Amino acid sequence: MGDTVFVNGTIIGGYGADAPGHAAAAIRDGRLVATGPEAEALRAAADEVVDLGGGILAPAFGDGHAHPLQGGLEKLGPQVRSCGSVEEVVACVRDWAQAHPEQEWIYGGSYDATLAPEGLFDARWLDAAVPDRPVVLRAWDYHTVWVNSEALRRAGIDAGTPEPPLGRIPRRDDGSPLGILQEPGAVDLLLPVEPGRSHEERVEALRLATAEYAALGIAWIQDAWVEPAEVEAYLDASARGLLSTRVNLALRADPLRWRDQLDGFTESRRRVQDNADPLLTAGTVKVFVDGVVENHTAAMLADYTDTPGDRGMPNWDADELAEAAVAFDRLGFQLHLHAIGDAACRTALDVFEAVERRNGPRDRRPVIAHVQVVDPADLPRFERLGVIANFEPLWAQLDPMMVALTLPRLGPEREELQYPIRTLLRDAKVSFGSDWPVSDNDWRPGVATAVTRQTAERVPAAGWTPAERIPLADALEAYSSGVAHQAFADADPAERDLVWLDRDPRSVDAHELREIRVLGTWVAGVRRA
């Protein structure tokens, strides 16, 4: 690669309100080599000159927690995400099944859990569309699947099936399974009989997903849940040149067999390193400490308001999790812990404290993802332990999920504790992500929500939990430099992934960010969109 010179725009090195700008910049092999007049002097000999047309060239964005493979796979099945009723979902599945008679198992995602009371969906509703082939639909939260009766029959899930460890099977009054399976312990009951997605489908999903991310100006993704077969898909997609963004793989630690995974995770990391693709790394281990509030599986310090005596479902014994974390950390992996409830956040912080105590200090940059509810007493521990709080800012609003399912379970006192972005931003490291396909992978609505704590309709007028609103520049930084810090990609300021926007996002009303156009994205020195 030779020089690419950018002219006729504003080039900034960050989104801080006082970030200096330049009129021109030159990039060579993905590195910034000149700005201003020095860059202009390289124009004549450059391999490419990009006229920014008065736009802005800035650091590309990142997604600190997402599931690009699942997002891509959604595009290959029934498109139920936009369905506004159970009837629409059923009709969509029926139409897709009729158009694809060759598909023995029908996979789709991700339906709106608020379409049925308490998020409880009946297998018989799907039977009306497809009675003779298994149907498996993921909910928006990806912690629940809705299946038809044929899927239950093939998996042998019936009234006599005991409650699985680390999962729940909601039932009818007669004890028969209703049709939804909550958390991996229950969802995995399908594994012995389902074929899953094919290797080629996974590779195509990665092509689609990373191309979509590049078109959004996002250059780095933390894939926050990777299974062994999916490593193969990533390696193949890389070998074929199908990845359009950088992706770091977080290998999921299983609470029941993590000791058996140690060698496999090390081998997966070695294979990715030997692949020598700058777009693909595998340096992280993912742990689900708990589930989600909407299923009553997030681990809470006090009872759920609507179910006295229920404090959720921790996925790990705390001491066992500490042992696992210490072991993976000793192997040099970064730890990325999903923690939704305040009890889970406390456990995650305790684990990181144990890791530092037992393994000694190093630049490990541990991550707690989601950070939905945190006990105020635990907030100072983020900064003290060097923990990155990875928020999905789009969730910090009064959307239908929050109103119908989350708030009735948490109650008014814990409502005020949700998503303490501003509080943690004062002293701790914060990064942003989307959790796509759980929610939108576009950084623009996420930034808008972090700034306003409002819905797209600007409700409520003063913002929901307005004390946690943050300035626009800080929100843009959390989606760029904050993610770069999480990715260990901030050591060399000259190494740049870049996005070309038609205007400066710091200069518009937060709700108007959607109108900003992404005109180009450069990753590892190559234009990808």
Please write the tens of the pLDDT for every residue from 330-339.
Answer: 999 999 999 9
Question: CATH 3.10.310.70 spans which residues of the chain?
Answer: 77-190
Q: Measure Cα distances from 117 to 85, 120, 138, 179 in Å.
A: 12, 6, 17, 14
Residues 58-82: pLDDT tens digits?
999 999 999 999 999 999 999 999 9
**C-alpha span between 109 and 104 (Å, rounded):** 17
- The predicted pLDDT at position 17 comes to 67
Q: Measure Cα distances from 163 to 50, 291, 306, 353 in Å.
A: 60, 16, 22, 33
- The predicted pLDDT at position 493 comes to 82
- The predicted pLDDT at position 20 comes to 72
Question: CATH 3.20.20.140 spans which residues of the chain?
Answer: 199-523
CB 105 within 8 A of CB 133: yes
Q: Does an H or E element contain 59, and which?
A: strand 56-59
* % the chain with pLDDT above 70: 99
Which pLDDT band, with edges at 50, 70 and 90, does 348 fall under? very high
The total of other beta-carbon atoms located within 10 Å of residue 29's CB is: 13
Residues 222-275: pLDDT tens digits?
999 999 889 999 999 999 999 999 999 999 999 999 999 999 999 999 999 999
Beta bridge partners of 126: none
Instruction: Give the angle subtended at the CA of 16 by the CAs of 11 and 17, to the nearest 5°.
Output: 95
**C-alpha span between 346 and 352 (Å, rounded):** 10
Residue that has been written with the tokens 């369905």 in this structure: 83
Signed CA dihedral, 327, 333, 337, 338: sign only: negative
Encoded tokens for 112: 């709106």
User: Mean pLDDT, to the nearest integer, of 163-175?
Assistant: 94
> Is residue 23 packed enough to be buried (19+ CB in 10 Å), middle (13-18) or exposed (0-12)?
middle
**C-alpha span between 182 and 118 (Å, rounded):** 13
DSSP code for 403: I
Residues 371-422: pLDDT tens digits?
999 999 999 999 999 999 999 999 999 999 999 999 999 999 999 999 999 9
**C-alpha span between 350 and 299 (Å, rounded):** 14
Residue that has been written with the tokens 């708030």 in this structure: 407
Residue that has been written with the tokens 């509030």 in this structure: 293
Residue 2 predicted with pLDDT over 90: no
Q: Name the residue type at position 317.
A: D
- The predicted pLDDT at position 373 comes to 98
Encoded tokens for 346: 């406390």
CB 9 within 8 A of CB 470: no
- The predicted pLDDT at position 18 comes to 72
Residue 1 predicted with pLDDT over 70: no
DSSP code for 36: H
> Please, which residues have CB within 8 angstroms of residue 322's CB and are 6 or more apart in sequence?
350, 351, 354, 355
CATH class of 199-523: alpha beta
Torsions phi, psi for 395 (to 5 deg): -80, -15
Which pLDDT band, with edges at 50, 70 and 90, does 141 fall under? confident
- The predicted pLDDT at position 110 comes to 86
**C-alpha span between 465 and 482 (Å, rounded):** 23
- The predicted pLDDT at position 301 comes to 98
Q: What is the CATH number of domain 77-190?
A: 3.10.310.70
Encoded tokens for 306: 């609507």
Residues 6-30: pLDDT tens digits?
999 999 999 986 767 889 999 998 8
Domain covering 3-54: architecture: Roll (2.30)
User: Mean pLDDT, to the nearest integer, of 475-500?
Assistant: 95
Mean pLDDT of the chain: 96
- The predicted pLDDT at position 156 comes to 97
Q: Does an H or E element contain 221, and which?
A: strand 218-226
CB 385 within 8 A of CB 428: no
User: Which has the higher per-residue pLDDT, 114 or 353?
Assistant: 353
Beta strand extents in 13-55 (DSSP E only): 21-22, 25-28, 31-35, 48-51
**C-alpha span between 9 and 412 (Å, rounded):** 48
Question: CATH 2.30.40.10 spans which residues of the chain?
Answer: 3-54
Q: Determine how β-strand 246-252 pairs with β-strand 218-226.
A: parallel
Beta strand extents in 67-134 (DSSP E only): 106-111
DSSP 351-375: HHHHHHHHH-------EEEE--B--
Residues 83-136: pLDDT tens digits?
999 999 999 999 999 999 999 999 998 899 999 998 999 999 999 999 999 999
**C-alpha span between 336 and 435 (Å, rounded):** 13
Q: Is 327 helix (H, G, I), strand (E, B) or coil?
A: helix
**C-alpha span between 436 and 439 (Å, rounded):** 5
